Amino acid sequence: MKFEVITLFPEFFELSLRQSLLGKAIDKKLFEIEIINLRDYATDRHNTVDDTPFGGGGGMVLKVEPIDRCLAALGYTRRGEESQPNGKEKILLTSAAGRKFDQRTAIGYSLCDRLAIICGHYQGVDERITRLYRMEEVSIGDYVLTGGEPAATVIVDAVARLIPKVLGNFESATDDSHMDEIVGAPSYTRPAEYEALEVPAALLSGNHREIDKYRRRMAIEKCLRNRPDLLKQAELTEDEQEMVRQLDENLDVE
Ligand code: ADE
């Protein structure tokens, strides 16, 4: 799997993606990441990549030509020129106006061979680029960032950790929040007692059925507190639905 991040600020990615687990995974060649400076594809001697919007209004718009040249140089084919639809190659455009990026989207992207991420900037990108190339506009949340770089970092991180072997222990990904539509269960580690706060006995029992049951209950409780919207859509057994009703009645709101 290869990520190709197209940005006006290549330095932004120096630290964030090259350390910790992802840095190690890159060293082990479990995936590749290329950071591409959009200015290298400008068409004039001032390396201009943006311009004022037609029709007026504030801000600047990323020009279509540099992005087109960049995608062509990377070997992406335009709409209608694809030999056959290739679901394994995708172009993403970060934008506050995009479709919501979530765990389900991350799982889908992790199955790609190649993922280009164009970091949007200023007032956005000349819309014609979306007519030239098939691309998905993605938003990482309902707020507006100054640029797409933090969004691209989030996307690369969430997708890369799903690539086989990137996490030492894949169970840690399957136990994640959102993997089964609700948030993950709370975790504990040593010491078993801290200032009279004890780790729940079920987790110390060594009985895996009991541990799983306890974790599911705690995940449902946390979800009810923090993300009741997710619980409404989650597939729960009848026992779990009853559990939600009981928890809901007794939930003390902080
Ligand atoms: N650019 C500006 N805001 C954004 C957001 N919420 N998600 C992705 N890209 C963005």
Is the beta carbon of 141 within 6 A of some atom in ligand 1? yes
The 3-state DSSP composition of the chain as helix, strand, coil percent (nearest 5) reads 40, 15, 45
Beta strand 2-7 with 32-37 is parallel
Q: What distance in angstroms lies between residue 135's CA and the mean position of ligand 1's atoms?
A: 15
Cβ contacts of 131 within 8 Å, gap of 6 or more: 79
| Sign of the C-alpha dihedral computed for residues 26, 30, 32 and 33 taken in this order | negative
| Domain 178-253 in this protein, CATH class | mainly alpha
Is the beta carbon of 54 within 6 A of some atom in ligand 1? no
pLDDT at 121: 86
pLDDT at 175: 77
pLDDT at 85: 61
> Would you list the DSSP string of 213-235?
HHHHHHHHHHHHHH-HHHHHHS-
pLDDT at 160: 96
Per-residue model confidence as pLDDT tens digits over 22-47? 999 999 999 999 999 999 999 999 99
Structure-token pair, residue 101 = 């990026």
pLDDT at 174: 75
Cβ contacts of 79 within 8 Å, gap of 6 or more: 131, 132, 133, 134
Q: Tell me which CATH code domain 2-160 carries.
A: 3.40.1280.10
Q: CB count, 10 Å around CB of 174?
A: 11
pLDDT at 213: 95
Is the beta carbon of 96 within 6 A of some atom in ligand 1? yes
Mean pLDDT of all residues in 155-173: 88
Q: What distance in angstroms lies between residue 118's CA and the mean position of ligand 1's atoms?
A: 11
Is the beta carbon of 119 within 6 A of some atom in ligand 1? no
- Tell me the pLDDT band of 169, cut-offs 50, 70 and 90: confident
Q: How many residues does the chain have?
A: 254
Return the residue whose CA atom lies nearest to atom 7 of ligand 1: 139
In the chain, CATH 3.40.1280.10 covers: 2-160
- Give the amino acid at 111: L
Whether the per-residue pLDDT at 75 is higher than 90: the answer is yes
Whether the per-residue pLDDT at 84 is higher than 70: the answer is no
In the chain, CATH 1.10.1270.20 covers: 178-253
Return the residue whose CA atom lies nearest to atom 6 of ligand 1: 96
User: Phi, psi (5° rounding) for residue 109?
Assistant: -65, -30
Per-residue model confidence as pLDDT tens digits over 109-161? 999 999 999 999 878 899 999 999 999 999 999 999 999 999 999 999 999 99
